[in-house]
Amino acid sequence: MMAPKVIFEGTSFLVLAKPAGWVVNRAETTKGQETIQDWLEANFQFSIFNFQDCRSGIVHRLDKETSGLLLIAKTPEAFTNLQKQFKERLVVKRYLTLVHGQIQPEEGEITAAIARSPFNRKKFGVFLGGRESVTNYKVISYQLSVIGGKKQDFSLVEVTPKTGRTHQIRVHFKYVGHPVVGDEVYGGRKAARSDRQWCGRQFLHASYLAFFNPETGEKVAFTSPLPEDLAAVMKNF
């Protein structure tokens, strides 16, 4: 499995490019799997590692199959500051995703409350009484391909979630009828099986991250291009 890559290291924070396949945090359900948390503790000696309630400095999460930018605090002070920025929605995150169909309009907002599914505790969905969830999107391009002898439409979309619910992007695009390519959980097993013949994982990449430096207050921004596997998918259209 490809190792995480350091995009930037400051005095109080670290920005990583997380490859797909890495679980971010240790948990009872991830025993036996190497995590970003393990990798950080094996490769760095940050003061925050001495504080168990700070998750080794991991401020936010990405799904196992999602690649892209991940923000790590190096000190407890930076961790508290960055958590506050996330809570106050000062952090801007953007993702690139390929979804099924031609999503219309080309630019819009998906607003639908998300909650854990009462039928499957590992899944989330749009439910009455769920937590407010808002996702903005903009179509970058429409794609047409012949797969299994059938013409299929796809949309390459830049997504800016305004809230940070678990599986939010995947749930919202499933909700509007345009599931993420390769998503085995929300796209349906049959469709995902077909997708994974030409796209080996869910097509979701955290491509942009902007926040305020916890020490200086200066706004900083980082970008990450599509990794090789997803870039290869786009070249095949």
Residues serving a catalytic function are: 63
The 3-class SS string of 96-159 reads: EEEEECCCCCCEEEEECCEEECCCCCCCEEECCCCECCEEEEEEEEEEEEEECCEEEEEEEEEE
User: 3-state DSSP call for residue 70?
Assistant: strand
Beta strands in the chain (DSSP E): 5-9, 13-18, 67-73, 92-100, 107-111, 114-116, 124-126, 134-147, 150-161, 204-212, 219-223
Long-range pairs for 190-194: beta carbons < 8 A, 24 or more residues apart: 191/100, 194/147, 194/148
CB 65, CB 21: distance < 8 Å: yes
* Whole-angstrom distance, CA of residue 90 vs CA of residue 175: 26
Tokens for 180, please give them.
């993420």
- Count CB-CB contacts under 10 A for residue 110: 22
Contact present, 177 and 153 (Cβ < 8 Å): no
Place of tokens 């995150």: 93
User: What is the Cα–Cα distance from 69 to 99, expressed in whole angstroms?
Assistant: 20
